[in-house]
Amino acid sequence: MNLRLFVQTLRWQRIRLLAVGLAAFGWGALIPTIYVGFSDAFREMVDSGFLPEELLSFGSGNFFSVPGALTLGLQHPLAIAFVGIFAIGATVGAVAGERERGRLEVLLARPISRRELYSTLMTAAVLLVGLIVAALLVGQIAGLALQGLIDEVQLGWMPLVFLNGLLLWSAFAAFGMAASVSFDRHQPALGVTMAFVLLNYFLEILGSLWRDVQWSQNYSLFHYFQPGEILAGKADPYDFALLGLAIAIPVIYALAVFPRRDLAAPS
Amino acid sequence: MHAEPMGTQQAVIATRGLTKHYGPVHALVDLTLDVRAGEIFGFLGPNGAGKSTMIRTLLGFLHPTAGSATVLGLDVTTASVEIRARTGYLPGGIALYDELSGADVLSYLNDLQGREAVRRDELCERLQMSPSVLRRKVRDYSRGMRQKIGVIQALQHDPELAILDEPTEGLDPLMQQAFYSLMDDLRAAGRTIFFSSHILSEVERICDQVAIIRAGHLMALQHVDDLLARRKRKVSLRWRGSAPDLSELPGLADVVVKGDRIEATLLGEVAGFVRAIASPSLEDLTIEPARLEEAFLEFYAGDEASEEARG
């Protein structure tokens, strides 16, 4: 871990972090408002048979309870886009992008080992992801307070929700970093990482919309992000362990492969 | 071709049979050379000859397929971090951080280097990078200014060894002269410079020893003076009255007589030739200096001819 590189990496992201963090906070705060405004109407639509319940569920979330709404807000494509800016965008460019721009060799001309470089960039990515997940959750708490729903959620479980979200997005960040150290160019690294995230998302959403293939959710990392369950006091340690494993595998791969790779001159 | 390696104790860079293959491409083949402390070593070759591969292998960016290399006595495969701590490196066509100012780039890279930037002010002054220029964002810099930042970042911490990949690329003639003078001073201070270039005149101007590489093969490894001493020189002589017959003179070739003037190519040593032609009838004598360019082209022509013969 190189402190100077770590600080500079965060500095480069500070404006983006501020903008995305504010947007994530705003989105988080909006979720309780949407719940208060539309929950009853959604329930009526389902009860009247106008809409199947599956269509108002999203991943593990729904609009029929406060924890369900919070979960839906955290698994919504908008939330994924906010966190993905750092978990995917920043990680795939961290090595492959710098290499393509020709700046990686300027960096590696310093006495920094590749493992140190990787560890520093990965740590920065986890911190950035953590800050966005935190912004989403703080926004949700602020929204709950504004709507007078704060008592409907056991806030004591929020740190565990944060940890669960951090692990999920760190797993994707670790995958993005592994792709980044494997390719000489940014685009293939981005393509592989996007495909991985979208496949996971597809398997999760498919299982939630179509009960016959509910098993597909077991193969999605998103399925192990369960804020609703945690807030209901039913956190499953298996979810955390599995996400931890999903982080460890790409990290071990990157630490093994990156130092052994040839870094030819950028073409 | 193999030059006889010198004792490795005094070699700042030493390679032995260094080979690098990228699949079927043989980027470096059995390269053996030494770079002594305190010398400026020119590494010559056209684009794609293997110059950058050599440099990247020395810095640990590439792993040798075979052979070995040490820099500052440290193995390039096991101690590249230590090597880079004591080395300054200017990559060819350096890419910088456009969003930072020149001063911030230098500070950032030096912080990562972890050594005091003892030469920065002097380098900025000599390369005419004033404080006001350094305050500007790198994105506003011309190519020459970027190159100057590249040179400064490589040398600001006063490294024992500087590896410079085409350092004068983009510099105007005045700055090239400033750079040459800087190299002279670094040599005087005992620093070692490994200098890759395809600009023959500058290698001739500043280098002590030169290696010529083609398609990954070392074609020549000699002191510049030795290389030039054996080169062909154009000679032109003017005589009072008709010119004598010099066609039998040893070391002289391509003799063309035009009235009182003789033009020829001198292959041998100059002193013997001057002694042989000394005559009261000799009115004028011009011997063009030997040029590295001719030596370089000769090595390449010879290699191409042998390839054609093999083909």
| Exposed/middle/buried for residue B38 (C-beta within 10 Å: 0-12, 13-18, 19+) | middle
Q: Which of A249, A102, A109 is nearest to B90 (CA)?
A: A109
Residue A57 pLDDT greater than 80, yes or no = no
Query: What is the reported pLDDT for B167?
Result: 92
Q: Please state, in angstroms and rounded to a whole number, the distance separating the CA atoms of residues B97 and B103.
A: 11
Local confidence pLDDT in tens for the 311 residues of chain B: 444 444 444 799 999 999 999 888 899 999 999 999 999 999 988 888 888 899 999 999 999 999 999 999 999 999 999 999 999 999 988 899 999 999 999 999 999 999 999 999 999 999 999 999 999 999 999 999 999 999 999 999 999 999 999 999 889 999 999 999 999 999 999 999 999 987 777 888 889 999 989 889 998 888 888 777 767 788 899 988 777 788 788 888 888 888 888 888 887 778 888 888 888 888 899 988 766 666 677 666 655 544 444 33
How many residues are given for chain A?
A: 267
pTM, to two decimals:
0.86
Q: Please state, in angstroms and rounded to a whole number, the distance separating the CA atoms of residues A93 and A99.
A: 9
Q: Please state, in angstroms and rounded to a whole number, the distance separating the CA atoms of residues B109 and B156.
A: 10
Query: What is the reported pLDDT for B55?
Result: 94
For residues B221 and B36, the answer to whether their CB atoms sit within 8 Å is: no
For residues A166 and A118, the answer to whether their CB atoms sit within 8 Å is: no
Q: Which residue from B61, B92, B153 is facing A108, i.e. has the nearest CB?
A: B61
CA distances from B286 to B139, B250, B266, B270, B282 (A): 50, 18, 11, 12, 11
Q: Please state, in angstroms and rounded to a whole number, the distance separating the CA atoms of residues A165 and A60.
A: 13
Q: Which tens digit of pLDDT belongs to each residue from A114-166? A: 999 999 999 999 999 999 999 999 999 999 999 898 888 888 999 999 999 99
Mean pLDDT of A50-59: 66
The residue of chain A nearest to residue B149, with distances taken between CA atoms, is A106
The residue of chain B nearest to residue A99, with distances taken between CA atoms, is B95
CA distance B143 to chain A (A): 15
Query: How much is the ipTM here?
Result: 0.85
Q: Given an 8 Å threshold on Cβ–Cβ distance, is B111 in contact with A2?
A: no
Q: Which tens digit of pLDDT belongs to each residue from A221-261? A: 999 998 988 988 888 999 999 999 999 999 999 999 999 99
Q: Which two tokens stand for residue B94?
A: 């350096």
Mean pLDDT of A6-11: 95
Q: Please state, in angstroms and rounded to a whole number, the distance separating the CA atoms of residues B221 and B215.
A: 15
CA distance B189 to chain A (A): 23
* Chain B residues touching residue A4 (CB < 8 angstroms): 108, 111-112
Angle between helices A114-146 and A66-75 (to 10 degrees): 140
Mean pLDDT (chain A) is: 91
CA distance A12 to chain B (A): 9
Q: Which of B99, B104, B111 to mutate to test the interface with A (most CBs of A within 10 A)?
A: B111
Q: Please state, in angstroms and rounded to a whole number, the distance separating the CA atoms of residues B13 and B35.
A: 5
Whether chain A has a CB inside 8 Å of the CB on B112: the answer is: yes
* Chain B residues touching residue A115 (CB < 8 angstroms): none
* Chain B residues touching residue A5 (CB < 8 angstroms): 112
Q: Given an 8 Å threshold on Cβ–Cβ distance, is B56 in contact with A265?
A: yes
CA distance A248 to chain B (A): 26
Q: Given an 8 Å threshold on Cβ–Cβ distance, is B91 in contact with A106?
A: yes
Q: Given an 8 Å threshold on Cβ–Cβ distance, is B56 in contact with A101?
A: no
**Residue A77 exposure: Cα atoms within 13 Å on the Cβ side:** 3
C-alpha Rg value of chain A to the nearest Å: 20
Helix/strand/coil percentages in chain A, nearest 5: 80, 0, 15
User: What end-to-end distance do the CA atoms of chain A give, in Å?
Assistant: 29
The segment with the largest mean pLDDT, out of A22-26, A63-67, B186-190, is: A22-26
Residues of chain A numbered 84-103 and touching chain B (CB < 8 Å): 101-103
Q: Which residue from B62, B81, B95 is facing A111, i.e. has the nearest CB?
A: B81
Cβ density class B246-272: b for 16+ within 10 Å, e for less: beebeebeebebeeeebebebebeeee
Whether chain A has a CB inside 8 Å of the CB on B52: the answer is: yes
Q: What is the DSSP letter of A128?
A: H
Neighbouring CB atoms inside 10 A of B69's CB total 24
Q: Which residue from B61, B92, B114 is facing A111, i.e. has the nearest CB?
A: B114
